[in-house]
Chain A
């Protein structure tokens, strides 16, 4: 559905008195197959939006190639636009317009007849829980309703591929969870492909089959959320022993599971990151039992995507969230 090779975009900008060329996206290779939900993760200024704008034909690449839904973004922009839906972060409807009329009018820009556009818009209102809001002005709708209206705008022409730019930014937890269901349904009920950018790691984790991490204009990792977590961080296992004098033995048992690593020891607690701790846990407990090490507690914490992000880019995405 999306295939890019060496896709790059640079901008000319002024730094002091000099005009300099800034490379926002420095040659990315992306492959997204039909029916996938792929998350595009990165801090502000990493190149997320620039990449998205190139893939949606809003910006021309300065180097490399990209085909979207089988069409070249540079030479077949019109065909690309007919095949994709785009839900921008900034919205898509006038605050003073009527919600239903906005979706119908948008459908007509895709070539649907007035009757067809209205039928489709009413169907989407029903599917996206917008019943009864047909005549409502977007400015009188809640944040969650407006986002669902934006999604209806993006889906009105039955696109095979949908781009969602930060779909749940600014929504309350309930509205986010509700929107996640609708995004997941894009694939499960319609067989669609979704490419979404997000700041929220839990969102990428919950929704995406695969995650691409971009930093400084380059893709620094791409895999399933689980594989990314395993690959980079491992699970954190924390053993609190009943007798602090035996903590050394607990640390040795932990280290045996992660060759070449040493457990961190602190006041009766030994902790170490172990790949796939779930599988090792039973053996670990047996070994400790054999050695007569009594445990007060055991805690296994699966790595979050934030851990992944931190190890890949050297900074936490949560800090970005706060700053954003």
Chain B
């Protein structure tokens, strides 16, 4: 076990070292939600009452957090493709290190990046007028990280399976776009017609967004529990799928 933790740490430290030398991607990943916050947030402010909220940003920031977790992490696999092309993945696979550690070290890097981006997003949100429960914001961040870890694992698995950016990019977009539209990230689904609400109920991410909004409001009830269960379930499935792919002989 200690060898496994050490190997995960070595992979994580190497990945962080490379990422820190090239922080452009972290900034680019952060640019999108910040732009939404700056350019779209003010449009929501007068509508806050319609959502049944006093503070529009307490509704909007949770959605942006989930968007960050989804989009940022789903694209994490792209760096694995270039590493695979450079022979890094194969070189690591002929070492005695656990193949699961090779994946987890990378996911850990993605989670740390996501944590930094999430904190910056909340901080910028605060500057714009976000006021919410501190515990709720921390809990929202935690659910975002669980979702991000699952997406990063799935993205790395997909990268190792397709080994092609050209295949991966449209695949991720075709999944992420409907998920984002149907999970009420930009606006709560309660504003929509009933059929849209029924469809969105089938999207697990929607329950996570709703749970984070409830947590931001300090309402730790069944909604938060239900969303948390979904986040844990997605986390378990994502990590399982990723680990399985990394352990496959021909990956």
Say whether A and B bind each other: yes
Going nearest first, the 4 A-B pairs with the smallest beta carbon separation are: A92-B91, A90-B87, A91-B87, A109-B95
Contacting pair B14 A59 (CB below 8 A): no
| Proximity bits, A91-130, B CB within 8 Å = 1, else 0 | 1111111100110011011110000000000000000000
Contacting pair A86 B14 (CB below 8 A): no
Instruction: Tell me, yes or no, whether A82 is within 8 Å of chain B by CB.
Output: yes
Instruction: Tell me, yes or no, whether A158 is within 8 Å of chain B by CB.
Output: no
* Most chain A beta-carbon neighbours within 10 Å: one of B22, B86, B249: B86
The dominant DSSP class at the B interface is helix
Instruction: Tell me, yes or no, whether A4 is within 8 Å of chain B by CB.
Output: no
Q: List 6 A-B contacts (CB under 8 A).
A: A58-B94, A93-B87, A93-B88, A94-B82, A94-B83, A96-B21
Instruction: Tell me, yes or no, whether B92 is within 8 Å of chain A by CB.
Output: yes
Partner of B95, one of A94, A95, A106, A150: A106
Question: In residues 21-75 of chain A, which contact B (Cβ within 8 Å)?
Answer: 56-60
Contacting pair B10 A105 (CB below 8 A): yes
- A92, B94: Cα distance in complex, Å: 11
Give me the interface of B with A, judged by CB distance under 8 Å.
3, 6-7, 10-11, 13-14, 17-18, 21-22, 82-83, 85-88, 90-97, 249-250
* Most chain B beta-carbon neighbours within 10 Å: one of A82, A90, A150: A90
Known contacts A78-B96, A81-B94; decide if A94 and B88 are in contact (CB<8 Å).
yes
Distance in Å from the Cβ of B55 to the closest Cβ of chain A?
A: 42
Instruction: Tell me, yes or no, whether A228 is within 8 Å of chain B by CB.
Output: no
From A108, which residue of chain B is reached at the shortest CB distance?
A: B10
Residues of A within 8 A of B95 (CB): 81, 106, 109-110
Distance in Å from the Cβ of A195 to the closest Cβ of chain B?
A: 13
Contacting pair A82 B87 (CB below 8 A): no
Distance in Å from the Cβ of A122 to the closest Cβ of chain B?
A: 18
Contacting pair A106 B91 (CB below 8 A): yes
Instruction: Tell me, yes or no, whether A233 is within 8 Å of chain B by CB.
Output: no
- A95, B85: Cα distance in complex, Å: 10
Instruction: Tell me, yes or no, whether A155 is within 8 Å of chain B by CB.
Output: no
Residues of B within 8 A of A98 (CB): 17, 21
Tell me the count of chain A residues lying within 8 A, CB to CB, of chain B. 33
Contacting pair B10 A58 (CB below 8 A): no
Known contacts A97-B18, A105-B10; decide if A57 and B94 are in contact (CB<8 Å).
yes
Residues of A within 8 A of B22 (CB): 96
Instruction: Tell me, yes or no, whether A84 is within 8 Å of chain B by CB.
Output: yes
Distance in Å from the Cβ of B174 to the closest Cβ of chain A?
A: 25
Distance in Å from the Cβ of A114 to the closest Cβ of chain B?
A: 9
Residues of A within 8 A of B83 (CB): 94
Residues of B within 8 A of A91 (CB): 86-88, 91
* Most chain B beta-carbon neighbours within 10 Å: one of A91, A96, A138: A96
Partner of B94, one of A86, A95, A101, A150: A86
- A108, B21: Cα distance in complex, Å: 21
Partner of B90, one of A82, A88, A95: A88
Residues of A within 8 A of B93 (CB): 58
- A92, B18: Cα distance in complex, Å: 15
Instruction: Tell me, yes or no, whether A153 is within 8 Å of chain B by CB.
Output: yes
Contacting pair B94 A153 (CB below 8 A): no
- A84, B17: Cα distance in complex, Å: 27
- A153, B87: Cα distance in complex, Å: 12
